[in-house]
């Protein structure tokens, strides 16, 4: 067993667990900062550890292009390459193929596409995506999938979802036929699709559950559909996915989305929000997010979130970080990024504590009331 549920909430589907990987344990619910190209933008691995980050995400598509499998193999995998000795999850790159590359052709075999970097023609198959992730050495791997847009015709979502299931089968087969390269175990999750069509998602999830993956990624959501549709799909997934396997909601999301998904039984999250928005000056506080580029912070010598116990709030004022952003100093981006990561880690860590104490729902409602009331641009 790679996953243990430690405590289940009484009122909701929320649960606390522990995922075991070759690079240590991950307490859930957990937020995973995004380090697409083997770097969480502007932050060093030891700084991530200091923010209590348990696991980061990297991207198979990007790492396949650069540095490429040769270099990654010579480095003995991504952990050694970037000096990160804690768990790491890789996305399959399917989503990036669809969103970044040109001239893609999807067939039963896999997907042919043009690299967004140099225009060369590349071919991803369920098999070679597993091979690449063996070389990367991620602790948790994703199979190649197709992520349909929203909205999409039901017939298309069904056809695509069925192919994703067949691809998942091939991925699992390849996994069994190969071995980890660096001596640590690698888990493989299944990615459920089906858009917001309840019957399709149920059918698709069941097919994957039958294959017995190490965990289940809930894919094809957070692609533009109303939040209520997403929540409906999570409630449905809760009933279909096995309780004793971790569940990862891909690409989510805002603090509100995360807490509402935890309430519906989700264990793992990743999102570019804390890192990408940081680079535009938006930082998160317990009383809403604010934009530090605003002139009103020019003479505000308080911390981003007074009393919030993290490195950035202990050491820097809004006025200083605003100055750094205002004059284009890189350090401004780094401090905003580090703060936001710390905030999202605090969010899922606190959710966990509140589940353990049996107060999750009450805390969530209090938190969101304060957070949403104070939210600014």
The binding site for its own copies (CB under 8 A) comprises 37-39, 41-46, 62, 66-67, 70-71, 74-75, 81-83, 298-299, 301, 315-317, 319-320, 323-324, 326-327, 329-331, 333-335
Q: Compare residues 178 and 317 and give the one whose CB is closer to its own copies.
A: 317
- To the nearest 10°, report the CA torsion of 289, 290, 291, 296: 180
In the complex, minimum distance from the CB of residue 326 to its own copies, in angstroms, rounded to a whole number: 6
Q: Say if CB 32 and CB 55 are below 8 A apart.
A: yes
Structure tokens at 197: 């069509």
In the complex, minimum distance from the CB of residue 322 to its own copies, in angstroms, rounded to a whole number: 8
Q: Compare residues 208 and 338 and give the one whose CB is closer to its own copies.
A: 338
Is 283 exposed, middle or buried, given 0-12, 13-18 or 19+ CB atoms closer than 10 A?
buried
In the complex, minimum distance from the CB of residue 50 to its own copies, in angstroms, rounded to a whole number: 11
Q: Say if CB 315 and CB 331 are below 8 A apart.
A: no
Neighbours of 288 (CB within 10 A): 15
In the complex, minimum distance from the CB of residue 71 to its own copies, in angstroms, rounded to a whole number: 6
Q: Say if CB 310 and CB 339 are below 8 A apart.
A: yes
DSSP string, 223-242: SSS-HHHHHHHHHHHHHHS-
Q: Enumerate the β-bridge partners of residue 16.
A: 7
In the complex, minimum distance from the CB of residue 109 to its own copies, in angstroms, rounded to a whole number: 29
Determine whether 91 is an active site residue. yes
Q: Rounded to whole angstroms, how far apart are CA atoms 11 and 238?
A: 14
Among 298, 290, 373, which Cα is nearest to 339's? 290
Q: Compare residues 39 and 287 and give the one whose CB is closer to its own copies.
A: 39
Starting from the edge strand earliest in sequence, which strands make up the sheet with 102-106, in order?
A: 102-106, 111-114, 121-124
Q: Compare residues 22 and 67 and give the one whose CB is closer to its own copies.
A: 67
Q: Compare residues 204 and 340 and give the one whose CB is closer to its own copies.
A: 340
Options 91, 139, 145, 305, the catalytic residue: 91
Residues with Cβ < 8 Å from 6, sequence gap 6 or more?
15, 16, 17, 18, 356
CA angle, residues 197, 199, 200, in degrees to nearest 5: 65
Options 139, 214, 267, 270, the catalytic residue: 270
In the complex, minimum distance from the CB of residue 207 to its own copies, in angstroms, rounded to a whole number: 37
Active site residues: 91, 270
């Amino acid at each position: 067993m790679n996953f243990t549920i430690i405590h289940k909430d009484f009122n909701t589907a929320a649960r606390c667990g522990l995922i075991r990987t070759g690079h240590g344990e991950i307490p859930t619910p957990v937020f995973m900062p995004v380090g697409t190209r083997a770097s969480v933008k502007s932050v060093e691995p030891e700084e991530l550890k200091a923010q209590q980050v348990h696991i980061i995400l990297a991207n198979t598509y990007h790492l396949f292009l650069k540095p490429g499998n040769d270099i990654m193999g010579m480095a003995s995998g991504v952990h050694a390459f970037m000096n990160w000795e804690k768990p790491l999850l890789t996305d399959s790159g399917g989503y990036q193929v669809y969103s970044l590359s040109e001239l893609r052709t999807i067939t039963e075999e896999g997907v042919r596409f043009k690299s967004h970097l140099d225009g060369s023609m590349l071919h991803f198959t369920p098999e070679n995506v597993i091979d690449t992730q063996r070389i990367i050495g991620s602790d948790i791997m994703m199979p190649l999938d197709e992520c349909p847009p929203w909205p999409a015709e039901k017939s298309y979502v069904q056809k695509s979802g069925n192919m994703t299931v067949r691809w998942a089968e091939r991925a699992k087969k390849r996994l069994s036929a190969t071995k980890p390269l660096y001596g640590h175990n690698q888990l493989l999750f299944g990615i459920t699709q089906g858009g917001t069509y309840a019957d399709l998602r149920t059918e698709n999830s069941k097919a994957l559950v039958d294959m017995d993956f190490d965990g289940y990624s809930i894919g094809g959501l957070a692609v533009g559909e109303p939040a209520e549709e997403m929540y409906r799909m999570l409630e449905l997934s809760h009933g279909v996915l096995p309780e004793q396997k971790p569940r990862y909601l891909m690409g989510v999301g805002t603090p509100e989305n995360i807490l509402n998904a935890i309430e519906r039984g989700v264990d793992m999250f990743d999102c570019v929000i804390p890192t990408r928005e940081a680079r535009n000056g938006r930082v998160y506080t317990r009383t809403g997010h604010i934009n530090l580029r605003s002139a009103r912070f020019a003479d505000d010598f308080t911390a981003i979130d007074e009393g919030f116990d993290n490195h950035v709030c202990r050491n820097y004022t809004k006025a200083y970080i605003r100055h750094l952003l205002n004059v284009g100093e890189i350090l401004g981006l780094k401090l905003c990024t580090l703060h936001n990561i710390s905030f999202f880690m605090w969010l899922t860590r606190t959710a966990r504590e509140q589940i353990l104490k049996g107060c999750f729902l009450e805390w969530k409602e209090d938190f969101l009331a304060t957070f949403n009331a104070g939210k600014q641009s």
